[in-house]
Every structure is written in structure tokens, then in C-alpha cells.
Amino acid sequence: MLPNEIVLEILSHLNFDVLALVRCLAVSKTFRSLIHETSELMYLIELAKAEKVDLPTGNTAAENLEKLRACRERLNTMDSVAKYDMI
């Protein structure tokens, strides 16, 4: 197996092909772990999942990922409250 640094370098070139990046999650536990531990790669996946585009903010990928996840959590909470109100 290649060293983690080289695998990450290769994976980082998939930044415009999120589907390929997601497929790499299923390749091995090592790939999955490396992707999940890399904020930049997880941010790209989460961004695609949310159907959003990346805009320059001056923040790091880790900060943007945290904000994106917080936003998704707020939306999920709102959905849960709305469903409960309808009952």
C-alpha cells in the first residue's frame, strides 16, 4: 500500500469529481478513514450532498465544513419541528 501522504495527494486531485471521491470511500477502510480525517475532502462531499457551491470566504475548509454541518443540523431540526406541528 502507498504511504498515506501519497494517497491523500492522489485523492486531492479528485476535488472536481465528487462522485469519484465518494466511490473511494468504499475502496478500503484506509481510504475511508483518510477521507473522513481530511477536512478539505469531507467539505467537498458535504457541499455536493447539500447541493451547494463553494464560494471564497477566507475560511479554512475545516471552518466551512463545520458551518455547513451546523446549517444542515438546523435545517433538520426545523424539519422535525414542522412535522411535529402537523400532527
Residue type, 23: R
Distance CA 84, CA 6 (A): 49
pTM here?
0.70
Centroid of chain to Cα 79: 21
Tens place of pLDDT per residue across the chain (87 aa): 789 999 888 888 887 788 999 999 999 999 999 999 999 899 989 888 888 888 777 889 899 989 888 988 888 887 666 565 555
What pLDDT shows up at residue 3?
92
Structure letter (DSSP) for residue 58: S
Q: How far apart are CA 42 and CA 22, in angstroms?
A: 9
